[in-house]
């Protein structure tokens, strides 16, 4: 997409994150997983955090801040790339 749209001044970027434990979707999902695994929701959420290199899950505010950066003029030279904000769940 970047190859096709960049000549028109359109930037194409991808924001990679991981499960935001404060989102409703992840809250619901971890609740179901906790029930199936016979663990508490807090243990399920701790497992998510433990799976990251930083040992902390990104919050929705972290993801929103990264998206705001990508949309800002400070990222005006970024196109055809991925911003990894996954706390190390995915390494580049």
* Residue range 45-54: mean pLDDT, rounded: 95
Please state at what angle helix 41-50 crosses helix 24-37, rounded to 10 degrees: 110
For the residues of the chain, what is the DSSP string, one character each?
A: -HHHHGGGT---EEEE----TTSHHHHHHHHHHHHHHT--HHHHHHHHHHTSTTSSPPPHHHHHHHHHHHHSGGGTT--SEEEE-STTSS--
Q: Which of 72, 74, 68, 85 is nearest to 17 (CA)?
A: 85
* Residue range 32-50: mean pLDDT, rounded: 94
Domain ranges of the chain: 2-84
Residue 12: pLDDT over 90: yes
Indicate the CATH number of 2-84 among 2.60.40.1510, 3.40.50.300, 3.40.50.720, 3.40.50.360: 3.40.50.720
pTM: 0.85
């Amino acid at each position: 997409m970047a190859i096709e749209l960049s000549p028109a001044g359109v930037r194409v970027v991808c924001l990679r994150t991981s499960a935001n434990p404060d989102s409703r979707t992840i809250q619901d999902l971890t609740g179901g997983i906790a029930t199936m695994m016979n663990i508490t929701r807090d243990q399920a959420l701790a497992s998510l955090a433990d799976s990251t290199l930083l040992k902390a899950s990104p919050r929705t505010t972290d993801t929103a801040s990264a998206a705001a950066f990508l949309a800002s003029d400070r990222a005006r030279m970024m196109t055809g790339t991925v911003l990894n904000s996954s706390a190390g769940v995915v390494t580049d």
